[in-house]
């Protein structure tokens, strides 16, 4: 027991010494964490100028310009270069400015691929002195030389190239194409109606013709296609192709509210004696495979009624036929025919038109009827 107590007495001083040593180490570590040194203040400069005043305005060629060094005379420790921006102007990317030292600034613009002269301004500044400015101006780039392209068609007054195509269609030599493009020319054709026009020659050499083929026009209206010719870097040429309307050989008429059952010629149409805005006009749908004319004629003939004596107006176009009675009838029943004929004066359809009068008690009831005993009126 006595030995054990002696060991305790020996260990207590040893632990105390260890604790003091640890505390000493901790204090030393804390003292070693020195604060970061404060930035060294920049001494104000007393001078900042161009060594050569001519370098306040630098000029560069457009293609592959060589960088230039601006030499400065200054006692500044630091300099800064920044672009001088006008209102709503953004920093230019075509010129790179690098500070090599307080006495040298490198200016290196890129090649000018535009066809305009371009310019930019920079400011050099240093602590304690007035800033100085310099401008960078670069020549305009040359416009790329373009190939030539022409066709043997005279443009109209509006500068458009147009070609009329017959209604019968077939192959059409649109134009002879001339170009200096080494690869020759190419062509494309477009139409809003599928199958109207096809391109026969999609490409060729200078002096060759571009041809297209049109189908026969049996629609009763003009058809159009657009031919575009291109060659190298030349500006494209657009030619507008217009196919004429052919002569109609057949027309079909339908009542305005019934587009399924075609009417039979001759067809009877009756107007009331007294006209209102609602009953003085009658309209029909027309389907024709070509161009036709509408005529108001004497009953049973092809003799055109004089306009100053006609009581009925008739007009056709855009797929419709419109009949308009001009005035109320105060006399006997009156009659005319309306015929649809082609350019060769071949009759394609006839309407027997009557307007009831005072002498016709049953207006419209006995005004004539469609051949074959069908309903006589389109009221």
Give the 3-state secondary structure of 283-294: EEEEEECCECEE
- Find the largest Cα–Cα distance for the chain: 161
Q: How far apart are CA 331 and CA 247, in angstroms?
A: 40
The sheet with strand 95-101 has its strands ordered as: 48-50, 68-74, 104-109, 95-101
| Res 31: pLDDT | 56
Cis check: omega of the bond before 337, within 30 degrees of 0: no
Torsion angle (degrees, nearest 10) of CA 260, 261, 265, 267 = -100
Reading the chain (379 residues) residue by residue, the pLDDT tens digits are: 444 444 444 444 444 444 444 444 444 555 566 676 766 677 899 999 999 999 999 999 999 999 999 999 999 999 999 999 988 888 889 999 999 999 999 999 999 989 999 999 999 999 999 999 999 999 999 887 889 999 999 999 999 999 999 999 999 999 999 999 999 999 999 988 788 999 999 999 999 999 999 999 888 788 999 999 999 999 999 999 999 988 899 999 999 888 889 999 999 999 999 999 889 999 999 998 888 999 999 999 999 999 888 999 999 877 899 999 998 888 899 999 999 999 899 999 999 999 999 864 544 444 333 443 344 443 3
8 A C-beta contact, residue 99 and residue 81: yes
Q: How far apart are CA 100 and CA 71, in angstroms?
A: 10
Which token pair is 148?
């030539």
Which token pair is 145?
């030389």
> 3-state SS of the chain?
CHHHHHHHHHHHHHHHHHHHHHHHHHHHHHHHCCCCCCCCCCCCCCCEEECCHHHHEEEECCCCCCCEEEEEEECCCCCEEEECCCCCCCCCCCEEEEEEECCEEEEEECCCCCCCCEEEEEEEECCCCCCEEEEEEECCCCCCCCCCEEECCCCCCCCCEEEEECCCCEEEEEEEEEECCCCCEEEEEECCCCCCEEECCCEECCCCEEEEEECCCCCCCCEEEEEEEECCCCCCEEEEEEECCCECCCEEEEECCECCCCCCCCEEEEECCCCCCCCCEEEEEEEECCECEEEEECCCCCCECCCCCCCEEEEEECCEEEEEECCCCCCCCEEEEEEEECCCCCEEEEEEEEECCCCCCCCCCCCCCECCCECCCCC
Q: How far apart are CA 9 and CA 221, in angstroms?
A: 126
Which token pair is 58?
């630098």
Ramachandran angles phi, psi of 86, nearest 5°:
-80, 170
Rg (CA), the chain: 48
Distances, alpha carbon 326 to alpha carbons 132, 271, 307, in Å: 88, 11, 11
Which token pair is 43?
């001494």
Q: How far apart are CA 108 and CA 118, in angstroms?
A: 14
Report the 10 Å Cβ neighbour count for 63: 11
| Res 88: pLDDT | 82
């Amino acid at each position: 027991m006595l030995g054990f107590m002696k060991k305790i007495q020996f260990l207590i001083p040893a632990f105390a010494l260890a604790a003091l040593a640890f505390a000493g180490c901790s204090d030393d570590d804390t003292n070693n964490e020195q604060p970061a040194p404060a930035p060294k203040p920049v001494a104000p400069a007393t001078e900042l100028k161009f060594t050569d005043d001519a370098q306040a305005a630098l000029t560069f060629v457009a293609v592959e310009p060589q960088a230039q060094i601006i030499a400065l005379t200054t006692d500044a420790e630091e300099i800064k270069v920044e672009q001088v921006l006008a209102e709503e102007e953004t920093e230019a990317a075509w010129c790179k400015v690098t500070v090599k030292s307080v006495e040298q600034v490198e200016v290196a613009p890129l090649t000018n691929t535009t066809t305009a002269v371009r310019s930019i301004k920079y400011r050099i500044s240093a602590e304690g002195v007035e800033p100085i400015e310099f401008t960078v101006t670069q020549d305009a780039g040359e416009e790329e030389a373009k190939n030539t392209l022409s066709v043997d068609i005279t443009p109209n007054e509006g500068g458009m190239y147009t070609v009329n195509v017959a209604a019968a269609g077939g192959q059409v030599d649109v134009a002879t194409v001339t170009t200096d493009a080494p690869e020759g020319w190419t062509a494309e054709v477009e139409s809003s109606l599928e199958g109207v026009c096809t391109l026969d020659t999609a490409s060729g050499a200078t002096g060759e013709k571009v041809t297209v083929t049109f189908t026969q026009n049996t629609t009763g209206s003009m058809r159009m296609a657009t031919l575009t010719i291109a060659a190298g870097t030349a500006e494209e040429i657009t030619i507008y192709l217009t196919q004429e309307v052919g002569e109609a050989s057949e027309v079909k008429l339908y009542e305005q509210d019934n587009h399924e059952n075609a009417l039979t010629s001759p067809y009877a149409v009756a107007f009331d004696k007294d006209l209102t805005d609602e009953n003085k006009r009658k309209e029909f749908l027309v389907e024709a495979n070509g161009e036709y004319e509408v005529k108001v004629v004497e009953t049973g003939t092809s003799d055109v009624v004089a306009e100053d004596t006609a009581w009925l107006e008739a007009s056709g176009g855009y797929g419709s036929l419109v009949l308009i009675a001009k005035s109320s009838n105060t006399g006997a029943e009156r009659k005319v025919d309306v015929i649809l004929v082609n350019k060769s004066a071949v009759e394609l359809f006839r309407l027997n038109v009557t307007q009831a009068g005072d002498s016709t008690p049953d207006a419209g009831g006995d005004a004539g009827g469609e051949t074959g005993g069908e309903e006589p009126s389109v009221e």
